[in-house]
Amino acid sequence: MKFFSFLLLLISLNCFGQKPTIYGIGDSTMANKPLANENPERGWGQMLPQFLTDNITFDNRAVNGRSTKSFIDEKRWDAIYKILKPGDYVFIQFGHNDSKFADSTRYTNPHTSYRHNLIRFVTETREKGATPIIFSSITRRNFNEQGVLISTHTGYTLEARLVAQEFKVPFIDMEYYTELLEIKYGPEKSKQLHLHYKAGDIPFYPEGKEDNTHLNVKGGTEIAKIAVAELKKTNLDVVKYIKD
C-alpha cells in the first residue's frame, strides 16, 4: 500500500515528465471553431498553439456563448478541476456573455457574481498546484461616427483587474492591447480582423456577414500574438514554452 501511495504521489507531482497543460476557459472569442466548409472564423485560443513548443499542451475548453455562470453551471469547470495537476495553467477570459442582461442563464453582475466566479477559478486552480492567469476580454470593433473606439466591457474589465490585483494573479489586459490593435488598423481596415464579407465574397457566407466581435484567421492570429507578447513580459515558467 505504501508503494502505491508513493507512486500516486510521484504522479501528482509530475515526476514522470508529464507535459504541463494550459487550459483555456472562456467564450467564443477564445474558442476553437470548426474548419468544415472553409469556415473563416477562429478564436484566438485556436491560433495560440502555433506559438508554443511541443513541451506543453494547450487544451482549449472555451465555448461559444459561455459566461462565468454558464461555464460553471454546465459543469465545464468541474471537468477541468478534476484533472488539473501541479504545473498546469488556466487562462481565464470571460466577459462578453456575462453582460447578457436579458439572459438569466448567463448574466452576472460584474461587481458581485462575476467577481466571485473569477475568484473561484483562481482559488480552485491554486488548490491543485496550477497557475491561474486572468485575461480581460478582447475589445469589440465598436467605432462611433467620429472614429472613436468605444468599450463595451468597462465593468467586467475593471473587476477582472481588481480580482487579479487582490489575489496577486498575473493579469493580461487584452482589452487594452486589442484596442490598440483596432485603432492601429482604423475604423475601415479593422474589418480585416473580423467577419466582414460582402455577399458572394466567400462560400461560407453567401449572403455576406458583418460581425464586429468574432475573429477571422488574421484577427485570431494577431490577438494570439498579443497574448504571447504579454506573457513573455511575466516571470512565469510558461514563458519557456513559448517559441523564440
Cell of 103: 439572459
The CA distance from 40 to 36, in Å, is: 9
Find the largest Cα–Cα distance for the chain: 71
Catalytic pick among 28, 67, 136, 190: 28
Residue 80 φ/ψ, nearest 5 degrees = -75, -45
140 with 213: CB under 8 angstroms?
Answer: yes
Spell out the residues 6+ positions from residue 207 whose beta carbon is closer than 8 angstroms to its own. Answer: 199
E-only strand ranges, 136-208: 171-172, 194-197
Whole-angstrom distance between the N-terminal and C-terminal Cα of the chain?
45
Catalytic residue status for 188 = no
Catalytic pick among 99, 153, 214, 222: 214
Catalytic pick among 74, 127, 188, 210: 210
Catalytic residue status for 28 = yes
Catalytic residue status for 210 = yes
Dihedral sign (CA 211, 212, 218, 224): negative
Catalytic residues: 28, 210, 214
